[in-house]
Copies of this chain bind each other. A is one copy, B any other.
Amino acid sequence: MALIVQKFGGSSVADASKMLQVARRVAKNRKEGNDVVVVVSAPGDTTDDLIAMAKEITDEPDDREMDVLLATGEQQASALLAIALKSLDCDAISFTGPQVGIVTDDVHTKARIVKVGDSKIRGALKLGKVVIVAGFQGVNKDQEITTLGRGGSDLTAVAIAAALHADVCEFYKDVDGVFTANPNIVKNARKLDAISYDEMLEMASAGAQVLNARSVEFAKNFGIKIHVRPTFNEKEGTIVMQETRAMEKVVISGVTYNKDEAKVTVRGVPDRPGVASILFSKLANAGLNVDMIIQNIGEKGHSDVSFTVNRGELKKTMKVVTDAAKTLKPAGVISDENIAKVSVVGVGMKSHSGVAARMFQALAEKGVNILMISTSEIKISVVINEKDVAKAVTAIHDKFKLGKKAANERG
């Protein structure tokens, strides 16, 4: 008998028949003798619909009230799932985030979890009930409703798993697990049986959408074992866990890409201390998140600075850069929206040399031009033209023989 936290996303509970399918799955787990806590997202398009309603009233709806509004989607899902479970004779009870005591800070629309109460959940589990918790939401110290921002329900699940010392936190997805590359692009992409927190973190921040980086970080910090598995079949998925020796034997775990970025280059800025500081302070103050940054020293004591930002924030970014240009007086500012970032991730990289060279060779062989390069301990990212993404990902995947089970399978 184990204590399992299960998280189901919005598409898994989008309508009555899917809701019942999820309920049957949960009920089966309960009948097998496990204690089960379920965290649900808002059904289907509920959150988008609510945002649209608010935006119809005003372009800039109040953050506190948006939290009150949006929290209802997950509350509905939790009640409906409890109704479905009880209709299957599986005793269940739903709780909102505030009821459970998910205490957060005061930052509405992207609050951070401070504390998770466990007594309410433990009490209900003791009575043999499946406990369903509305994801994405909490309450600050003044009992105001808060929400956790993007990926908030994933975070709720991991936080509850940590508070309860759960044996595993299962994420049910519409994919079979974490893959060596996007199976829609790379035909022979392979599902990974296991991956380390750090690799998963890098893959998430490099564009793999299967898990949210904040939740992986939380899970890593509390040592929560994550199991990413398919909602609508019973196959084993991918375990995300502490790095093991076996993992290190594998050089690369996966190839990811991200088409959501845009590149900005500030050309010919004076090459003296403080220049980068001025530029990136202004961007940070404007709440803009910069991903890759590269600086080259150019001719006559001038240098070029390139960086990438979220594509949706390019307009806002260009405004800030144009403003900074009044001080920096660069030779020019160029932006490019038609780029993509392709990354290889793997803990084995630490002990294997030549990974970067192998990656660049794969790209060169296919005639893919590299615009920017950035590396971390277990990740190498390149920025290329967006049109080359499929070609690049497939070439790298082939080069590292990720699709070939025999050579790279984990122990």
Task: Name A residues whose Cβ lies closer than 8 Å to a Cβ of B.
Answer: 15-16, 19-20, 50, 53-54, 56-58, 60-62, 64-66, 68-69, 71-72, 75-76, 78-80, 82-84, 86-87, 93-94, 96, 99, 143, 145
Contacts and interface: CB of A to CB of B under 8 A. Distances in A.
A401 to B, nearest CB: 48
Contacts of A16: 53, 56-57
A interface: dominant SS: helix
A61 B87 contact: yes
B53 A80 contact: yes
A158 to B, nearest CB: 23
A66 B53 contact: no
B65 A50 contact: no
A50 B57 CA distance: 23
B83 A69 contact: yes
B65 A82 contact: yes
Given A61-B83, A68-B75, 9 more contacts: A54-B79, A54-B80, A57-B83, A57-B87, A62-B82, A68-B82, A69-B79, A69-B80, A72-B76
A58 B84 CA distance: 7
Copies in the complex: 2
Nearest to A43: B53
A64 B129 CA distance: 14
A365 to B, nearest CB: 54
Contacts of A54: 79-80, 83
B66 A83 contact: yes
A45 to B, nearest CB: 13
A68 B57 contact: no
A266 to B, nearest CB: 37
A62 B86 contact: yes
A218 to B, nearest CB: 26
Nearest to A82: B65
6 contacts: A58-B86, A61-B87, A65-B82, A66-B83, A68-B96, A96-B145
Contacts of A78: 68
